[in-house]
Amino acid sequence: MSTALSLISSVLHPYTCPCCGTITGAEDELCDYCHEMIERCDPAVRCMRCGLDKKLCQCKRHVFHFDGCVAPFKNSGIVRKAMHRFKFRRKLSSAGFFAKNMAFCVKNEYRDIKFDGVCFVPMHLKNRLMRGYNQSRILAEGVAKLLRLPVYDLLCCKRSGVSQHNLNEKQRFKNVKGLYSAKCDLSGKVLLLVDDIKTTGATLDACAKQLLAAGADGVYCVTALMSGKEKRK
């Protein structure tokens, strides 16, 4: 784009902070305030398997099927609100911001893994028609593009109206039992599984289990946000 055209475009469609909407100078960048305030996951203290800070590690309570889980942000404060707008209020312009940070996380923390492709947690058709989109698929497409990997629709969700909201950890694992199935043979594939938020890991675990049962060699997860057991703000 010529300088004049990009100037006109930046006036007509200014870049805004994905968390607070303040006008910023660059696409998918936080404003200075949100940059300071946003809570990032610290890769130096995370458990390699469940992805949580080591002091909150869940691996004693659950044997997860996935090989690892990483996320750029904690599920709290301003970024939690931004995710809520993306997920429930059609603020789809935030997808680029989340995907960019997730791809960065994958590049850093799964440096030695050679992925065959990216897949995502599916939504039942009825739920997808109600919402109009599957936010995990949108994130997977963004991440795959940045990592130059293909994105595959590998899983199907067998029941509608299954919400994990308001359930405790034990109930969440029970709730997703038998909920997903793999669509094809995945022999020897190493996959990156994408979801919006990891809360207990029950959904990712149920999906990873089916991908492995279909022959996948390894499943590594990335989500935009990750909850620990810490109190939400």
**37 versus 190: smaller Cβ distance to Zn ion:** 37
DSSP string for 143-176: HHHHHT--B---EEE--SS---TT--HHHHHHHT
Q: Which is nearer to Zn ion, 58 or 135 (CB)?
A: 58
Minimum distance, C-beta of residue 82 to Zn ion, in the bound complex (Å): 9
Instruction: Please tell me the distance from the alpha carbon of residue 194 to that of residue 120, in angstroms, as a whole number.
Output: 5
CB of 119 to Zn ion, least distance (A): 22
Q: In which region does residue 101 sit, left (phi positive, over 0), alpha (psi from -120 to 50) or beta (all else)? A: alpha
Distance of closest approach, residue 17 Cβ to Zn ion, in angstroms = 3
Pick the closer one to Zn ion by CB: 62 or 128.
62
Provide the phi-psi class of 38: left if phi over 0, else alpha when psi is between -120 and 50, else beta: beta
Q: Is 79 in the site for Zn ion (CB under 5 A)?
A: no
User: Rule CB under 5 A: is residue 17 a binding residue for Zn ion?
Assistant: yes
Nearer to Zn ion, 87 or 198 (CB): 198
Answer for which of 31, 82, 191, 224 binds Zn ion (CB under 5 A) is 31
Contact between residue 139 and residue 100 where contact means Cβ atoms under 8 Å apart: no
Task: Kindly state the smallest distance separating residue 161's Cβ from Zn ion, in Å.
Answer: 31
Cα distances from 59 to residues 9, 129, 231, in angstroms, run: 49, 35, 20
Rg (CA), the chain: 18
Among 10, 16, 20, 29, binds Zn ion (CB under 5 A): 20
Report the residue number, 49 or 183, with the smaller CB distance to Zn ion: 49
The answer to whether residue 146 forms part of the interface with Zn ion (CB under 5 A) is no
What does the alpha-carbon distance between residue 74 and residue 35 come to, in Å, rounded to a whole number?
A: 14
Mark the segment that binds Zn ion (CB under 5 A) among 34-42, 89-97, 200-208, 218-226: 34-42
Quote the Cα angle for 24-30-35, to 5°. Answer: 130
Spatial separation of the C-alpha atoms in residues 199 and 132, rounded to whole Å: 23
* Residues from 47 through 76 that contact Zn ion (CB under 5 A): 47, 49-50, 57, 59
Specify the residue, 17 or 147, whose C-beta has the smaller distance to Zn ion: 17
Q: How far is the CB of 86 from Zn ion (least distance, A)?
A: 15
Q: How far apart are CA 230 and CA 227, in angstroms?
A: 8
**Residues at the contact surface with Zn ion, assessed by CB under 5 A:** 17, 19-20, 22, 31, 34, 47, 49-50, 57, 59
